[in-house]
Structure 1
Amino acid sequence: MLVDTHTHLYLEEFPDGGSEAVRRAIEAGVGHMIFPNVSVSTIEPMQALHRSFPEVTSMAMGLHPTEVEADFASQLNIVESHLADAAGYVAVGEIGMDLYWEQKFRSEQMEALDRQLDWAEKLSLPVIIHCREALAPTLEVLESHRGVRGVFHSFGGSESDVEEIRRRIGDHFYFGINGILTFKNSSLKSVLPAITPDRILLETDSPYLAPVPHRGKRNESAYMIHTAAVAADALGLTKEALAAATTANASDLFGLSLA
């Protein structure tokens, strides 16, 4: 069994709300999917899809960094209200920093990340970190919350980035690997051995980053089998061994009970 630890099947790219994509994933051998929230407007569709498939899906609650603008405090208040019942969520996420498009709200993103890390500490929940062109400031905030566990979602960095993360905040964070691994010019295959199988999670980030041979198309959780095959080869593992290791990792981090 595979676990897609990061998929947004509830977004508008899936006109039926994601139900058919969940069914296709199950048929492909993806036995569990985690839905991280993006914005205030995505909370309801995320919850609706989870209610339709409560046994094979879980949710994370957070405010995505690209949603952080001048009025982020009011957005955070709404998101926090949904975390009041922590039993409904397996993580705080998707949170972090994204300076790829612009630097305008850098300080606001740092403040929003810090506040959401406080929630994770208070609720004893792991975090799902989005970090794009922002490793240094992200680590700066995380250094003040060294007891928090989590995953660097959609990791596409170098071996030196892995070393920097572990040096500054410890070796207890996982790294989410998705379709980027399958891209022709990706150097990530050579980085996986440095991460080691006991710290790797598999994900899709659907509907984005579809793996080869579906690159350029709408991604979905069923396509994770292609990323898993490339990851197993890069690590010198059988597909079965990789599936067992990454499923165990997902169970450990998110507190899942998976057969």
Structure 2
Amino acid sequence: MQFIDTHAHIYSTKYDSDRDEVIARCIDYGVNKIYMPNIDVESIDPMLEAELKYPEVCIPMMGLHPCDVTKGFEQQLYVMEDWINKRPFVAVGEIGLDLYWDKTYYDQQKEALKIQISWAREKQLPIILHCRASLPETIALVKEELDENLTGIFHCFSGSEEQAREIIEMGFLLGIGGVATFKNGGMDKVLPKIGINHLVLETDGPFLAPVPHRGKRNSPEYIPIIAEKISELTDTSLENVAEVTNNNAARIFSYLKR
């Protein structure tokens, strides 16, 4: 059985001591594709090195994470726009809004998000949205920018059934990760009602490890644990979860070719 991790920072220094072993275990467990969201200018080189070392397994995106939007963020965007114009990427991400850590640069976060959405529209690429403590605000901004050429994934979805349906109605997918395994994560109430047709699997490694690894380093090799939990919550077979989420991932990341 094959799986796809649509969101993991496998280039992170957290994997420097055993990245080869982690990738080998991923392949053994059927996780044969790992999509890598970029964070900032400093993460570009290690991300592209991972792509070079693990071709067709580690696949890069390009974007500026909202937590890295600070004074002078335009210079980072300038560098990233140059990259996105000179070589292919499968998505614009990880982009979005974050009101959890620091609200100081919220206006700049919104500006950066709109600029990067314009890249996605121009290149016909999906967007990968970070929306921690900002899901209503992110939905509202995306609705303002929405047209028939804009699609993507709401990464690390942890909202309500109503918010899930709103996102699906916009033509976006829901990225489901380790939160689905948390006792108070809320997904036990949402996933049974919305089913699997608009989901993709993700880990967000090295963050947000699923139970029973919660609190430890997360890893793409844990994707089957997340898939099993989704299977349980939606009363569908693990094989069906794998097939549907793989097809969704393939569709969203081949958007440019449609």
Partner Cα separation in structure 1 for residue 121 and residue 249 of structure 2:
19
Partner Cα separation in structure 1 for residue 193 and residue 3 of structure 2:
22
- The alpha-carbon distance between structure 1 residues 237 and 57, as it changes in their structure 2 partners (threshold 3 A), is same
Matches within 5 A, 1:94-243: 94-147=94-147, 148-166=150-168, 170-243=169-242
- Alpha-carbon shift at residue 104 of structure 1 (Å): 0.8
Retained in 1: the 8 A contact 2:180–2:230? yes
Partner Cα separation in structure 2 for residue 8 and residue 239 of structure 1:
25
Partner Cα separation in structure 2 for residue 67 and residue 98 of structure 1:
10
- Alpha-carbon shift at residue 16 of structure 1 (Å): 3.9
Retained in 1: the 8 A contact 2:205–2:217? yes
Aligned to 1:60: 61
- Alpha-carbon shift at residue 81 of structure 1 (Å): 1.1
Aligned to 2:39: 38
Retained in 2: the 8 A contact 1:232–1:239? yes
How many aligned residue pairs are there? 252
Bigger mean CA offset, 131-140 vs 45-54: 131-140
- Alpha-carbon shift at residue 19 of structure 1 (Å): 2.8
Partner Cα separation in structure 2 for residue 70 and residue 59 of structure 1:
26
List structure 1 segments (4+ residues) > 3 angstroms apart after TM superposition: 163-166
RMSD: 1.5
User: Do structure 1's residue 70 and structure 2's residue 74 form an aligned pair?
Assistant: no
- Alpha-carbon shift at residue 135 of structure 1 (Å): 2.1
- Alpha-carbon shift at residue 232 of structure 1 (Å): 0.7
Partner Cα separation in structure 1 for residue 6 and residue 165 of structure 2:
23
- The alpha-carbon distance between structure 1 residues 241 and 30, as it changes in their structure 2 partners (threshold 3 A), is same
- Superposed CA deviations along residues 206-254 of structure 1, whole A, max 9, x for unmatched, are 0001111111110100011111100011111111111001000000000
Bigger mean CA offset, 121-130 vs 141-150: 141-150
Q: Which amino acid aligns with 2:138?
A: T
- The alpha-carbon distance between structure 1 residues 185 and 136, as it changes in their structure 2 partners (threshold 3 A), is closer
User: The residue matched to 1:84 in structure 2 has which SS?
Assistant: helix
Bigger mean CA offset, 114-123 vs 53-62: 53-62
- The alpha-carbon distance between structure 1 residues 206 and 223, as it changes in their structure 2 partners (threshold 3 A), is same
Q: Which amino acid aligns with 1:59?
A: P
Bigger mean CA offset, 42-51 vs 22-31: 22-31
Retained in 1: the 8 A contact 2:135–2:159? no
User: The residue matched to 2:13 in structure 1 has which SS?
Assistant: coil
Retained in 1: the 8 A contact 2:143–2:170? no
| TM-score (normalised: structure 2) | 0.93
Retained in 2: the 8 A contact 1:154–1:175? yes
Partner Cα separation in structure 2 for residue 94 and residue 17 of structure 1:
24
- Superposed CA deviations along residues 38-96 of structure 1, whole A, max 9, x for unmatched, are 11100000000111111222111000000000111011111111101352x11000000
Partner Cα separation in structure 1 for residue 129 and residue 226 of structure 2:
20
In structure 1, runs of 5+ residues without a counterpart are none
Q: Which amino acid aligns with 2:171?
A: H
- Alpha-carbon shift at residue 197 of structure 1 (Å): 1.4
